[in-house]
Amino acid sequence: MNRRILIVDDEPNVRLNFRTTLETEGYEVFEVSSGEEAIQSLAEHTFALAILDIRMPGMDGLELLAKIRENEIRVPAMIVTAYSDVPNAVKAMKLGAIDFLQKPLRPDDLRSIVAEIVKRHAGRDEPPGETFHAHINAAKRCLNLRAFAKARLHLAKALELNAKSPEAFNLAGVLAEVLEEFDKAKKYYGQAIKLNKNYEPAQQNMRRLFEVDHFGSSKEPVNLGDK
């Protein structure tokens, strides 16, 4: 399994904290301070995950992610932001970044999400098993790789296996947002909340859509749910 992680952040202390946290888990960590350096590293090495800061001088995280996709580099990406909002969330999702975390990060949160993403992509060339969780993971993997039609099929299978899963309906809402089907996204998030009124990921996503409708900007990151 590839355990090589690329950290792209212009703040040395942030890179050091991320490196320390991830190296204790056995990851091989590379770090760069700019988008230009990241493109060079990605051309020279294969990474299990790229962790991208949203705000950097010069090329920001979304511009870097767009360049990565233009160069047909299929690395999964996680967006990290120090701000209370993730601008252009749908743009990021269209580029395959469906995992967001906010600074300051707790080490446990970083370990958890990195482990989940790496595991998600470790067997990406293998067909998923016919279980609910296998199809959920396959749907997330397809979203990362921008295979949206396949993601829809896996979500349909997941919902056939468990029609009362808030996580599945929340993820269906994320896919609908990627496809700019915002009314449909609201319905899926609403169904997730109906199934579990305390399901925070769907509540956050619904709030974000409401704020986009009323104020024209998003103040919360996309939340995929269970990690």
CA distance 224 to 142: 14
CA distance 188 to 171: 8
Which of 122, 143, 172 is the C-terminal boundary of a domain?
122
For residues 111 and 187, membership in a common domain is answered with no
pLDDT band at residue 128 under the 50/70/90 scheme: low
For residues 45 and 104, membership in a common domain is answered with yes
Which span out of 22-26, 52-56, 180-184, 197-201 was modeled with the highest average pLDDT? 22-26
- Name the H helices within the chain: 12-23, 35-44, 61-70, 89-94, 107-122, 132-144, 148-161, 166-178, 182-195, 200-215
Give the pLDDT score at 21: 96
**Range(s) of the domain holding residue 183:** 132-215
Q: What is the CATH number of the domain that holds 199?
A: 1.25.40.10
For residues 98 and 202, membership in a common domain is answered with no
pLDDT band at residue 124 under the 50/70/90 scheme: low
More confident call, 213 vs 168 = 168
- Read off the pLDDT of residues 189-213 as tens digits, 9 standing for 90 and up: 999 999 999 998 899 888 878 776 6
> What does the block give as tokens for 132?
């609910």
Residue 221 lies in a domain: no
Say yes or no to pLDDT of 84 above 60: no
Split into its structural domains, the chain has a count of 2
For residues 52 and 108, membership in a common domain is answered with yes
Contact 203, 223 (CB under 8 A): no
- Read off the pLDDT of residues 135-146 as tens digits, 9 standing for 90 and up: 999 999 999 989
Give the pLDDT score at 216: 53
Helix (H), strand (E), coil (C) string for 183-207 = HHHHHHHHHHHHHCCCCHHHHHHHH
For residues 109 and 17, membership in a common domain is answered with yes
Which of 66, 92, 122 is the C-terminal boundary of a domain?
122
Which of 53, 87, 122 is the C-terminal boundary of a domain?
122
For residues 88 and 15, membership in a common domain is answered with yes
